[in-house]
Copies of this chain bind each other. A is one copy, B any other.
């Protein structure tokens, strides 16, 4: 270990925060490296010691977005109900809180796929797939816990509501798309609950 690795790099945190805000709120392509460096109060040369290319910074942004949302949901769900059904429906409540933010701009992963070069091997696409796989597992696990038959298929139906509410809230924030998604999810659950 050299000293270099133990020294603090206070600028790095500012770069990450600034990049996250600008990439999400104004778009990846619309945000230049110069602006990130300026708003993070870091010289461009320093930024390029943190990240080899802008693309690396974009990939890092996507992975951080995914991880922080997963951690947030994992931390909140246990407090949102004792039964798996309640916790499942609470996912839509958490989405609804996100949608209330004035800086809400849709799903970062869907947006990044639209902005970046497409292709099944693009980093944006892989990040999107990885994140969606987590969502599917989250729904699937709660459905299994609830004793619902065919949890994987129903989890996909709930993902439609999850993704659809993000699109809706992006296009028209005046509608409570999260509440609509929650109600639709209740209909779906009602149709697949084991009578007992």
B-contacting residues of A (Cβ < 8 Å)? 25-27, 29-30, 105-107, 109-115, 117-118, 125, 128-129, 132, 153, 156-157, 159-168, 170-172, 175, 177, 180-181, 183-184, 187-188, 190-192
The 6 lowest CB-CB distance pairs between A and B, nearest first, are: A160-B164, A164-B164, A111-B114, A114-B114, A163-B167, A187-B191
Cα separation A129 to B167 with both chains bound (whole Å)? 12
Partner of A160, one of B30, B117, B156, B160: B160
A contact face: mostly helix, strand, loop, or mixed: helix
Given A177-B156, A184-B188, decide whether A110 and B171 contact each other with a Cβ distance below 8 A.
yes
Q: A184 to chain B: which residues have CB within 8 Å? A: 157, 160-161, 184, 188
Q: Considering the complex, give the chain B residue whose CB is closest to the CB of A175.
A: B156
Given A106-B110, A110-B106, A114-B114, decide whether A180 and B157 contact each other with a Cβ distance below 8 A.
yes
Cα separation A170 to B132 with both chains bound (whole Å)? 12
Query: Are A161's CB and B159's CB within 8 A?
Result: no
Q: A115 to chain B: which residues have CB within 8 Å? A: 27, 29, 114-115
Cα separation A16 to B188 with both chains bound (whole Å)? 42
Cα separation A162 to B177 with both chains bound (whole Å)? 13
Partner of A163, one of B25, B112, B163: B163
Query: Are B180's CB and A160's CB within 8 A?
Result: yes
